[in-house]
Amino acid sequence: MKKIAFIGAGSLVFTKNLVRDLLTFPAFADCTIALMDINPERLGYAKSAVDNIIAAGGYRAAVVATTDRIEALSGADGVVCTILAGDLDVWRYDLEIPKRYGVDINIGDTRGPAGIFRFLRTVPVMLDICRDIERYCPDAIFLNYTNPMAMLCRAMQSESSVQVTGLCHSVQGTAAMLARWIGAPMEEITYRCAGINHQAFYLDYKWNGKDAYPLIREAVVSRPEIYNEEQVRNEMFLHLDYYVTESSGHNSEYNAWFRKRPDLIEKYCTHGTGWNPGEYAYTVKRAESRRSRWQEQLEEWRDSPIDLRRGEEYASSIFNATIGDGTLFEFNGNVRNFGLIDNLPQGCCVEVPVLASKRGLSPIHVGALPDQLAVLVNTSARCEELAVEGALTGDPRKIFHAICFDPLTSAVLSLAEIKSMVDDMFAANREWLPQFRHFS
């Protein structure tokens, strides 16, 4: 029997979907599923939901729920992480403080000032999880879904011996969206995708072996409903010639083109981002609504009809390839750049094709990104490297410098204004960042 541990199992939608997918593989039909969360109430909902899946599928799997991380990890063959370090009471400052300075962030969970401070709060917990894995299940495959993906994976991969990679559904999700736009069955689509998390690009995208980019461009240019579905990403595609993986709401933050003036936010980031309106206040209000009715929502999700069909998330297929029946599986994962993308920083975290097998996780060499993409992605990757160094050494100066060169921040603020903003963010996060003894 295999054991799969879910750390942060109170993220019920993720837990439900990943457990459902896992149990579709015969190798895991009798596995032990260990659910761990620090919130006993959420943990109870998660266990109830998983019990319902097991009953509906007639599986022989066993489920254990615990608030003890060591109990969940002991003897695990696979680990999934979906934690959030800090509730709305702290991460709202990631958005509200930059907004006071004129840096209007939409989501803020990946990079830039908001993503960096989320990373600083989260990385100590993730490294503690890695130390527990090293001690209690050293051979386990560790799959991370917690953001900010690139910085967390970079830190864990350099500071631990755990075999860890990070997963994001945007690669396969965007590939399916593009197929829909051109009327192609997804099973006839192939692609090669690389870059960094949330800023990876389809270097080729083919339908039955033929370049499908001309069809995508025609759809974006000639059909207003398609252009308006993803305004930011479609503008990037029309001007940069390659399609980026993550949504318009996210990508509007990662460059200097769309959020530096209110008129640009109105034009590009309000009506076609999927996060209407495209401003920080909406994200905060959305989170407040979720928090105020989380029990109601969890009951809805727990008691909703159970569809036992496997979804599109990578995790279950990776586990099946590595610790299941050994069927090879290629996916896009987050790994350190040692000879994978030629024109991105050595050792930074990149998102590239990875082959999962009984040998483990084997990243695949991509080569060089097109020059115009490399300029954009290098900036983000180097800022992330500075932030990781600052987090691991407790050096606030490196954090300041990482934010200095963030494209959106530097498009809006002077260096002195950035310094003042970063000081305010450190002050708001003081209780969460004991590794920084001083920050002025």
Give the pLDDT confidence score for residue 275 in this predicted structure.
58
Q: CB-based contacts of 273: which residues, under 8 Å, 6+ apart?
A: 106, 230, 231, 232, 247, 248, 249, 252
- Predicted confidence at residue 156, as pLDDT, reads 98
Query: For residue 276, is pLDDT > 60?
Result: no
Q: Tell me the pLDDT tens digit for each residue of 99-121.
A: 999 999 988 999 999 999 999 99
Report the mean per-residue pLDDT for the chain.
Answer: 93
d(CA 223, CA 230): 12
Mean pLDDT, to the nearest integer, of 4-13? 92
Q: What is the per-residue DSSP string for 376-400?
A: HHHHHHHHHHHHHHHHHHT-HHHHH
First to last CA, the chain: 53
Residues 378 and 427 grouped into a single domain: yes
- CA distances, 33 to each of 53, 330, 352 (Å): 12, 24, 29
For the annotated catalytic residues, the residue numbers are 169
Same structural domain, 47 and 181: no
Residue 298 lies in a domain: no
pLDDT in tens, 279-293: 566 666 666 666 666
How high is the pLDDT of residue 175?
Answer: 98
Confidence bin at 29 (pLDDT 50/70/90): very high
* Average pLDDT of the residues in 128-153: 98
Residues 42 and 101 in one domain: no
Q: 334 and 216 share a domain?
A: yes
- Domain of 124 in residue numbering reads as 3-89+109-166
Query: What residue type is assigned to position 9 of the chain?
Result: A
pLDDT tier for residue 11 given thresholds of 50, 70 and 90: confident
Residues 120 and 76 occupy one common structural domain: yes
Over the stretch 326-358, which tens digit does the pLDDT of each residue have?
A: 999 999 999 999 999 999 999 999 999 999 999
CA pair distance 17, 145, nearest whole angstrom = 13
Same domain membership, residue 83 and residue 205: no
- pTM of the predicted protein model: 0.95
Contact at 8 Å (CB) between 150 and 334? yes
Q: What is the CA radius of gyration of the chain?
A: 21
Does 395 share its domain with 414?
yes
pLDDT at position 281, please? 62
pLDDT in tens, 192-249: 999 999 999 999 999 999 999 999 999 999 999 999 999 999 999 999 999 999 999 9
Q: Are 140 and 76 in contact (CB under 8 A)?
A: yes
**207 and 73 within one domain:** no
Residue 251 lies in a domain: yes
Choose the weakest-confidence range: 286-290, 368-372, 383-387, 424-428.
Answer: 286-290
Contact predicate 183/199, CB 8 Å:
no
